[in-house]
Amino acid sequence: MAGLLKALVSASEKAADIARLCRHEEPLFQLLVAEKTGADKNRRFLQDFKTLADVLIQEVIKHDLGTEFPELQGHVGGEESNEFTNAQGGTVAVRVCGTVGETAALLGSVLAPEQAAAELLAAAAHRDVVLGDAALDGVALSIPPGDLAIWIDPIDSTNEYIGGREDVAPVDGISPSGLCSALVLIGAYDRRSGCPVLGVINEPFFRRDPLTHRWQGRYHWGVAYQDTRLCSLSPPPPPRPPPRVVLSRAEGPGVRAALDPLCGGRLRFAAGAGYKMLCVILGLADAYVLSEGSTFAWDACAPHAILRALGGGTVALAEALRARRVGDTGPPPELLYNRPAEGVVGAERWANRGGLVAYVHPQHLEAVLGALVAVPGL
């Protein structure tokens, strides 16, 4: 398990480098945008973009994990199809090849005539990452990687990544939008139970170096396996009223009206499901509430594992409210990651239908559920 954790962190660091490289080459970045269509289109957005950075990052993580842990091959899933449409209208299946030169040639077929950019990306995809993290070195756990499967969101909040805004002022530490909400999310779950056990969140655009003006990142990790709880972060402070709740700006008026009095009129809003869950992990918010099924397994798995490591979790909102309405006072049902929905295709098979609540302190979860239980339609 410790080896797998280090591998996930290393993969996230390599992914962050690729994300930064693509943002740095702005003309190249504009060329790389392609619209998702068909079964892969997220119905919440009028335009939901994928980028070569998305696809390459996902394939790099799949390649690196599958190479080091062959028992994971075929059990690493993600948001993106690896097929990319190049400027000439041809379809290229993006993957990591055996050598840097072969990968550069394949990427060159997407980027032509930008061969120099293809070579930069290929070098980043093949580079070795050296971690100097004493806390990671000290992790000692035993769980067969063959018991696990992986969900990847190569760049969560892709729209914010494409927009690239750096001038969004935080509100109580929470950025309503902007490049900082673009994250790399890698989560591991138990294949049998579907329970998230390990998560890595990488922030590629955490801050700019004051001297070089280049972006610097940071990462967070958590392990929640059996009775073990380990995390790179300290637990948030004890609960204090009123709770701070973060929502999507697309959240409906009924949910807003129910939660606003609970929060003393201080609801907060942000982009990106992963970023809003990170705000809860970092103690900037006490809960993230989403009433719609517009997030997916790859959005929630990694942050859910870290929340569990801190003593919290992520519950299925609709199921939790149904249980409360019939008098069930037991633990609310948590999201699981091994159960595709029936009767749908594409990304919708892995939608978190019925919404979610992410939290650290159970008191805040109960307060949120209590405020929402009477909202019509939930």
Which residues are catalytic, by number?
A: 54, 79, 153, 155-156, 158, 299
- Is residue 352 a contact partner of residue 340, using CB atoms and an 8 Å limit? no
Question: Closest Cα to residue 11, out of 81, 63, 49, 50?
Answer: 63
> 373-377: long-range contacts (C-beta < 8 A, 24 or more apart)?
373/321, 373/324, 373/325, 374/258, 375/254, 375/255, 375/258, 376/254, 377/254
- Kindly give the interhelix angle for 52-68 and 100-111, rounded to the nearest 10 degrees: 160
**Beta strand pairing call for 76-78 and 83-85:** unpaired
- CA angle 38–186–208, rounded 5-degree value: 100
